[in-house]
Chains A and B, each alone.
Chain A
Amino acid sequence: MSIAIEFVDLHFRYPGGVEAVRGVSLTVSAGERVAIVGENGAGKTTLVRHLNGILRPTSGTVLVGGASTRDRSIAQLAAQVGYIFQNPDEQLFASTIGADVEFGPRNLGCTPSEAAARAASALATVQLQDQAGLHPHHLSPSERKRVALAGVLAMQTPVVVLDEPTTGQDARGVEIVAGVVDSIAAQGRTVVAITHDMDFCAEHFDRVVVMADGLVQADGDTRAVFDQVGTLERAAVEPPQLLRLAAHLGWHARPLTPAEFVDASTREPRDLGTRVD
């Protein structure tokens, strides 16, 4: 599978002197769904902001689509990497939701009709198709966050970066975001998401990168990473609910979803079930 993103010994120091990323090397293949987890201040956002050139390495290299980001502007990288900011109010600016979502595709050279078609389909994906004519400020903050998501989806970039996509979302909002993550990956595109929601992470990502102190502490298959209890504890990351429960019950299985959990419950040896009355 082709490589979508590569960080090679990346270091980044803020002008104030804080070294937020202290030597990260990471390769992500096309079509992977990668979740980056860790405490606030672990360096997660600093790392992914290198993917579209908002931040430039202090040392080390970032490759997107096989080429270094060094000589490409943010606007040029935008064709490769769609980035959804944590705060939608920094992204939305047009007077209607539809126009805002068309903005990205038009910058990338789409014709007006193509941009409109892409916007309509992106808004349908986040279930806001009926709101296209409204002003963004008529929506709730969680809906605005979904508009921002649509604005980047419409750009149809090979890589999509999501910074805490589920914060402030209600149950339905989380479902919609999850649907977006799955559909992007199904099209062979790459998703990189920063999240604090481990259950969301377990259900929708195939790879987890744990960060702390500007370094990668664990990286690999979701199930395997969430089994590294000691590492997770040091990074202040709590494993997903069902994995914790399975471990507590003494099961061999490490189920990631309710369906897997229920399936495992029928197969685990009976005597291993912890007695709690």
Chain B
Amino acid sequence: MTSITLFGLCAAVLIGLGVYGLIVNPQPLRKILAFNLIGSGVFLFFGMIARRGAASGLGGDPVPQALVITGIVVAFSATALAVALLLRLDAAGGPSGLDDAVDGES
């Protein structure tokens, strides 16, 4: 097994764990963490694709490396927004789960 295959499998496992966590966990904070796990898997995948580009004699393909930085910034802002929403929800005194109470006449 080459190191590229190993990294690819690691990425797949991370993504799988993340998707599982995102669907199964009822708590919003855990869902946000699970999203970050998927993100890590995708970024690892980016690195693997960049390394495969090295087959043509370069040290590594620079394009995925440039993309991964942007991707990390976007994922970071998304996490910040989600956590900020969660804090506001907590401060507003609502129950912290995502399930709606029965829709009242509001």
Tell me if chain B binds chain A.
no
